[in-house]
Amino acid sequence: MSLFILGATGLVGAEVVKYGEKSSVFEKVIPLIRRHSKLEGSKISVIEEPDTSKWPEVIANESKSTPIDAFISALGSTRAKAGSAENFRKIDYGINYENFKAAKENGVKTAVLVSSIGANAKSWFLYPQTKGKLEDDVIALGFEHTVILRPGALLGERESAHGWANGAVNTIGRATKGTFFAPVLHPIEGADVAKVAVDFAEKSKMGKLTEKVTIVSAGELVKLASKL
């Protein structure tokens, strides 16, 4: 029973690794990362590969030794961090899509994608457009189960939170949590998004997820997290 994770050094991904480690369902947790990062735990088996173009091959190799049950991606950037719109698309769409595709080709049954509030392939704006296209194309890969989480304003300790406007969202998000604005931005801690992501992966592994495609809105995500 193994859980494969992309984006494990980010705000949500690092928490996915922690919840994976605590899970009684998964025996092995495999974060695939670019650069060395401290991810420790008895079940955690980190794969470091700086060249992301080799990641699909890493997935193929890995699934030959241990079948991968669930694949969670919390990998994402921002236009500012990526340096250009083109690089942003290459990371947020390109890397994610290539690796979900590799996961599907190598027998993974459940895909969980941490997307974003407002994701919409038809949007005129880069961020929601890129996220929306990724959602559509991951769904089209036809996993037995696809779960899309669309968090609102992400809160967390790390400055590298991905989201609409990063620091600004973090500040506004924190200030608005539990206030009048909360129903609009649905601020949520990165750890809570991770908790829900791992819970869906567990449910699918235990046969408790019946839907082929599940899209969880920012508001629903806050409610689900509060129940776990």
Ligand X SMILES: *[C@@H]1O[C@H](CO)[C@@H](O)[C@H](O)[C@H]1NC(C)=O
3-state secondary structure of 37: coil
Cβ closest to ligand X, residue 32 vs residue 148: 32
| One-letter amino acid of 189 | E
Cβ closest to ligand X, residue 61 vs residue 84: 61
Residues of this chain that interact with ligand X (CB under 6 A) are: 54, 57-58, 61
Q: Which residue is nearest to ligand X (CB)?
A: 61
Q: Rounded to the nearest whole angstrom, what is the least distance from the CB of residue 56 to ligand X in the complex?
A: 9
CA distances from 95 to 34, 91, 140, 188, 217 (A): 12, 5, 16, 25, 24
Q: Rounded to the nearest whole angstrom, what is the least distance from the CB of residue 57 to ligand X in the complex?
A: 4
Alpha helices (H) along 30-181: 55-65, 79-82, 85-89, 96-105, 126-140, 167-176
The answer to whether 52 and 26 have CB atoms below 8 angstroms apart is no
Q: Rounded to the nearest whole angstrom, what is the least distance from the CB of residue 58 to ligand X in the complex?
A: 5
Cβ closest to ligand X, residue 61 vs residue 171: 61
Cβ closest to ligand X, residue 57 vs residue 86: 57
Q: Rounded to the nearest whole angstrom, what is the least distance from the CB of residue 99 to ligand X in the complex?
A: 12
**CA 8/CA 35 separation, integer angstroms:** 11
